[in-house]
């Protein structure tokens, strides 16, 4: 694993020429609001266990040009990671952030833009971040941005104190309240042992801002055990 960094290295290192090579068919209709729900698009079957509020949002990042503009404006990669670890790719018209690989041949996962623009998340994930996601058994897009804020704050606090961040210690101070049907997973400070104050703002305008992070062959060892 690469150690995460606050570096604002240009995200143009992400291979923008890879953008737009997916088999997804982009929509010709843009969205007028970050919170617009495209109710006229049919929901994909097999995901009834996911709350409809998750399945009703489709990404505005359907075009290569929108992904390229984002990659040029914000840092995506950790400063110590190889350029070819991941590529960014557009999202299909009927894809939700809860969907699996479906018909795609690539290994990929979804990420929300706000994680990079506001919370300084960098790829590939460090051991601490991977550990938290594994213990919670969630994909990156399943964790609510406010929970990502708590995770990032703990990482930076440990860095300042010269400590190695531990997933077990972090989750000792937080609890989860899974819901059925499933929504984004939130973290709540444990009574009397809360470590950090809750994030003062609740992210609201993020639900249709996800894109695909494609794991390139050279990057498999950063994301898969035994690769």
CA dist 93 and 59 (Å) reads 8
Average pLDDT over residues 199-224: 88
Q: How many domains does the structure of the chain reveal? A: 1
5 belongs to a structural domain: no
Q: For residue 4, is it within any domain?
A: no
- Rounded Cα–Cα distance for residues 21 and 125 (Å): 24
User: Is residue 67 over pLDDT 90?
Assistant: yes
Closest-CA residue to 6 (of 127, 86, 119, 84): 119
Question: Is there a domain that residue 65 lies in?
Answer: yes
Domain of residue 155: give its range. 11-27+35-223
> What pLDDT, on the 0 to 100 scale, is given for residue 42?
66
pLDDT, one tens digit per residue, over 2-37 is: 333 323 343 444 444 454 223 333 333 333 343 344
Q: What pLDDT score does 211 carry?
A: 97
Whether 165 maps to a domain, the answer reads: yes
Residue 43, class by beta-carbon neighbours within 10 Å (0-12 exposed, 13-18 middle, 19+ buried)?
A: middle
Mean pLDDT calculated for residue range 108-136: 96
Domain assignment present for residue 2? The answer is: no
pTM value > 0.85: no
Residue 1 lies in a domain: no
| Sheet with 108-112: strands ordered across | 86-89, 210-215, 108-112
pLDDT at 40: 61
The pLDDT of 71-79, averaged and rounded, is 92
Per the domain annotation, does 6 fall within a domain?
Answer: no
Alpha helix ranges (H) inside the chain: 52-55, 64-73, 114-117, 127-136, 145-161, 167-172, 220-223
Assess if residue 55 is contained within a domain: yes
Cα angle at 218 between 217 and 223, to 5 degrees? 80
Q: How confident is the model at residue 117 (pLDDT cuts 50, 70, 90)?
A: very high
Q: How does the average pLDDT of the chain come out, rounded? A: 82
The string of pLDDT tens digits covering residues 157-206 is 999 999 999 999 999 999 998 889 999 999 998 888 777 766 656 788 89
């Amino acid at each position: 694993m690469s150690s995460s960094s606050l570096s604002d290295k240009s995200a143009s290192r992400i291979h923008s020429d890879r953008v737009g090579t997916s088999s997804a068919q982009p929509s010709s209709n843009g969205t007028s609001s970050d919170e617009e729900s495209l109710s006229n698009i049919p929901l994909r079957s097999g995901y009834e266990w996911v709350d409809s509020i998750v399945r009703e949002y489709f990404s505005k990042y359907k075009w290569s040009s929108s992904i390229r503009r984002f990659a040029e404006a914000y840092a995506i990669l950790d400063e110590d990671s190889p350029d070819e670890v991941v590529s960014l790719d557009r999202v299909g018209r009927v894809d939700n952030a809860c969907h699996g690989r479906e018909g795609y041949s690539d290994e990929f996962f979804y990420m929300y833009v706000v994680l990079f623009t506001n919370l300084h998340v960098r790829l590939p994930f460090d051991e601490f971040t991977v550990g938290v996601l594994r213990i919670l058994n969630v994909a990156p897009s399943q964790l609510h941005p406010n929970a990502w804020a708590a995770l990032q704050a703990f990482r930076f606090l440990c860095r300042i104190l010269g400590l190695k961040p531990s997933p077990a210690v972090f989750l000792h101070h937080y609890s989860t309240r899974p819901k059925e049907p499933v929504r984004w997973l939130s973290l709540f400070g444990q009574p009397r042992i809360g470590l950090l104050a809750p994030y003062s703002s609740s992210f609201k305008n993020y639900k249709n801002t996800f894109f695909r992070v494609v794991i390139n062959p050279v990057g498999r060892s950063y994301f898969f055990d035994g690769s």
